[in-house]
Amino acid sequence: MDKGRIWIAGAVIVIFVLIGGGWLLGIAPQLSIAAAANNDRANAIVSNARNQLVLAKLKSDYQNIDALKNQLLTLREAVPPKADISTFVTELNTLSAANKVTMKSITISDAKPYTPASQTRSTGSSTASPPQSNPKITTSNFVVVPVQISVTGDYGRILSFVNDVQMGQRLILVSSLTTIGATDAKGVKGNPSTTGGSQKVDSTLGGFIYVLLN
């Protein structure tokens, strides 16, 4: 091999070494930096889009802030931060008068800590517990208060009264309803009618009201 060919081969080798070194030392790092920047840019676009959705939801909620406040007020009346038995009794008296039935007695038992529905089934507890839908509802801040309401009147009116109680301002879970014929002036107990609705009866409604402590 003559010297010319040796110089040409050497020059080619040097060129490849320079190109490879330039790639490793200059171009490749720059491409990595550019790729990382593009990735960060894509993540930023996704994050911004998500934030825009959150911001739009917050703006929408703020526009409806008065309606949300009213909804919260209604919920706090249904499940107040304290037992507030006097308000509950007033509501019962109003509903009984509207349905023309006579309140005989109201019994409020001692409050009990809330028990999740799954625990109620497994332990056989008699405490009524609605399904737990929020992890913030715990045995420490949610209280169950057993109540018993006795009324007398026409059977149909009592059924209407029970319906109004369940649909009333205060949330109540009715767990039992017993009905017997009312005793007349001569001390004779009648037979309750479940069809005509005009038979005088004595009824006892059992259920639970709830308290969500602050």
Predicted TM-score (pTM) of this structure: 0.59
DSSP state of 32: H
Per-residue pLDDT of the chain in tens (214 residues, 90 and over written 9) = 565 555 565 555 656 555 555 555 555 566 677 777 778 888 888 888 888 888 888 888 777 777 777 777 778 888 999 989 999 999 999 999 999 999 999 999 999 888 766 554 444 445 555 555 677 788 888 999 999 999 999 999 999 999 999 999 999 999 999 998 876 555 545 555 544 445 789 999 999 999 998 7
Nearest 5°: CA angle at 70, between 145 and 212?
20
The Cα-based distances of 131 to 1, 67, 128, 134, 186 in angstroms read 92, 26, 10, 9, 47
The Cα-based distances of 81 to 78, 112, 131, 143 in angstroms read 10, 15, 19, 10
Q: Which CATH number is 79-212 given?
A: 3.30.70.60
Distance between CA atoms of 51 and 48, rounded to whole angstroms?
Answer: 5
